[in-house]
């Protein structure tokens, strides 16, 4: 993975030969490293992208069961908190269990939480969803979640989560699994929230791990 640098005026993220476009979320244009440029980790670069550069808000999806275990809810809330601290936009199904836990962590940390609720009324969303969207299409909204995000993280889950993960793989999105999420070929299993955050940073910044 190339080293990342932030220009001394904090306006340009580059790797010594390419600049990162915060709106297109892509690399282009040659850039020469300056001695005053600041080296960054990829997680620090994501924080800059969303907090300072106001990068385009393409969300990361977090999925999981409504009837979650305590471990799954704690894990989801911790993940949501880190996403909120870094201002990584969150998308989920807007209901209870893992969805509410990850929404709570993200919202209370100051992050953006989009909820695609299956109901006809946005008021069906949990209290931590900052942008509730009433899809009115029931479980079919799982397809929208998988299609709309740039990566999916599954925290626990059963058949419903399994289908969302499968849709994510079908749409060629990176899919990560935690806390007892279903086993699917091609899904990367992760044990630690910080490992997930680092993997998401690579996805967002279009970097290989």
User: What is the full per-residue pLDDT of the chain (209 aa) written as tens digits?
Assistant: 458 999 989 999 999 889 999 999 999 987 677 878 999 999 999 999 999 999 999 999 999 999 999 999 999 999 999 999 999 999 999 999 999 999 999 999 999 999 999 999 999 999 999 999 999 999 899 999 999 999 999 999 888 888 899 999 999 999 999 998 988 889 999 999 999 999 999 999 999 86
80 lies in some domain: yes
14 lies in some domain: yes
pTM of the model: 0.92
Tell me if residue 60 falls in helix, strand or coil.
strand
Statement to judge: residues 33 and 113 lie in one domain: no
How far is it, in rounded angstroms, from Cα 209 to Cα 201? 9
In this structure, what CATH number is given to the domain that contains residue 140? 3.40.50.450
Q: Please state the domain count of the chain.
A: 2
Domain of residue 164: give its range: 60-204
pLDDT of residue 2: 55
49 lies in some domain: no
Tell me if residue 73 falls in helix, strand or coil.
helix
Helix (H) or strand (E) segment spanning residue 38: strand 38-40
Statement to judge: residues 32 and 93 lie in one domain: no
């Amino acid at each position: 993975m190339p080293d990342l640098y932030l220009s001394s005026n904090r306006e340009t993220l580059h790797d010594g030969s390419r600049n990162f476009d915060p709106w297109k979320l892509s690399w282009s244009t040659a850039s020469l490293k300056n001695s005053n440029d600041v080296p960054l980790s990829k997680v620090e670069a994501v924080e800059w992208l969303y907090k300072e550069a106001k990068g385009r808000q393409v969300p990361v999806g977090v999925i999981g069961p409504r009837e979650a275990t305590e471990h799954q809810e704690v894990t989801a809330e911790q993940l949501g908190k880190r996403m909120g601290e870094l201002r990584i936009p969150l998308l989920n199904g807007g209901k209870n269990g893992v969805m509410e836990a990850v929404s709570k962590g993200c919202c209370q940390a100051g992050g953006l939480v989009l909820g695609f609720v299956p109901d006809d009324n946005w008021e069906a969303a949990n209290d931590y969803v900052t942008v509730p969207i009433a899809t009115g299409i029931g479980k079919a909204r799982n397809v929208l979640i998988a299609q709309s995000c740039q990566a999916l993280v599954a925290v626990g889950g059963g058949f419903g989560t399994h289908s969302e993960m499968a849709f994510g793989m079908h749409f060629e999105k990176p899919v990560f699994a935690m806390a007892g999420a279903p086993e699917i070929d091609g899904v990367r299993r992760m044990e630690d929230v910080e490992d997930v955050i680092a993997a998401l940073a690579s996805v967002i910044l279009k970097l290989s791990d």
